[in-house]
A and B are shown apart, each in its own frame.
Chain A
Amino acid sequence: MFEFFNQPEVIKIIVIIGSMALFFVGIFGLLTQKHLIKIFMSISMIESSLFLFFIGLMYKKSFLAPILTSNQEGFTNMNDPIPHAMILTAIVIGMAVLALGVSFAIEYYKLTGKTNIDEMTSLRH
């Protein structure tokens, strides 16, 4: 039964549908929520969906992780290491941006006592 899910095309379709679903959950939260922290959570969710998409698209069932162990002869039959390295970069940058945004939200709440973005009208006039 599970052999069906091991086909490369099926894996790719599952990855695309799943990550796009997570992406649109994040977009929905970004558009509907008014709380500043919830907006940052939605942005983080969109980032996670992109990481899943990028890694999952290059996944091949028969290939191994790109790390040489004592059972292998050389760097053959291995997954592409470039997406892993790119996503490692992207995770760190996303974390730094999220922490900076949360610190801005904390400081804004301390100064004004507001967390709802509809009430942030001090620059509108």
Chain B
Amino acid sequence: MNLKREIPTSTMSGFALSAVLVLTILNILLQNIPTKIQTAGDELLKLNSTEGVANAVTTVVVYFRGFDTLGEIAVLFIASLGIGLMLDSNNRCNIKAESNFMLQTASKFLFPIIMLFGIYVMIYGHLSPGGGFQGGVIIASGVLLLLISHKEFEVPHSVIVLLETFAGVSYVLIGLIGLVVLDTFLGNFLPHDISNMGLLMSGGIIPIIYIIVGIKVGSEMGMIVQNLIKRSDNV
């Protein structure tokens, strides 16, 4: 193997250009280091009271880092897509063994309660501990209970596609409306009065976005669970 092969000038110039760009960005970043980085949390807590949301973690996740959360649910969607491609659920069935009679009866009793609790955690995410991610995972656990108790149960693929598309599109749409109205992506364009803090109808777009995140996480996690639990006949 010849180690001294010629390097094309286009590669060298591209490398030099990217090095210059990286150095420029590092220079800009190093000149703008915030002096009070230790008190960033206190500054955010002060800013938080302007949004009228009682749960400060929700404000940070959905509002101050809302674009990051959009990327996060995109990562979750890509993982769900990869699992769906790897474990194609066509020609598959649930676990072969007949489930217990007690499990079947209890699942009919427990499933509505689990769904209700998941929706509660999702809707009250701006007032109490919890939120979209947690509520979505609770709903997916309810789907898992039905999958292990009923042999024939299956979440229809069209329902998942509808929910997921609705949630993703409306997240981006709300962000773009904020961009148009307030010149900020995910700007809080709905009324968010501080005197309403602690009520269900408070915080403007923040509870709406967390409910959307909950719908998306719930459908994606339900799909992941369903793809993982189904297995083909020949194994």
A residues contacting B by CB (< 8 A) are: 58, 65-70, 74-76, 78-82, 84-85, 88-89, 91-93, 96-97, 99-100, 102-104, 106-107, 110
For chain B, the count of residues having a C-beta within 8 Å of the partner chain is 40
B141 CB-CB contact with A under 8 Å: no
Are B198 and A70 in contact (CB-based, < 8 A)?
A: yes
Q: Per a CB cutoff under 8 Å, which of A67, A82, A103 touches B55?
A: A67
Q: Which 8 A-B pairs have the closest CB atoms?
A: A80-B41, A96-B79, A66-B56, A85-B60, A81-B56, A68-B54, A75-B45, A103-B83
| A75: chain B residues within 8 A (beta carbon) | 45-46, 48-49, 56
B171 CB-CB contact with A under 8 Å: no
B87 CB-CB contact with A under 8 Å: yes
B75 CB-CB contact with A under 8 Å: yes
> What is the CB-to-nearest-CB distance from B90 to chain A, in angstroms, rounded to a whole number?
15
Question: Considering only CB atoms, which chain B residue lies closest to A65 in the complex?
Answer: B129
| A93: chain B residues within 8 A (beta carbon) | 72, 75-76
Q: Per a CB cutoff under 8 Å, which of A70, A79, A99 touches B224?
A: A99
> What is the CB-to-nearest-CB distance from A44 to chain B, in angstroms, rounded to a whole number?
14
The interface centre, meaning the residue of B65, B80, B83, B235 with most chain A CB atoms within 10 A of its CB, is: B83
Are B72 and A107 in contact (CB-based, < 8 A)?
A: no
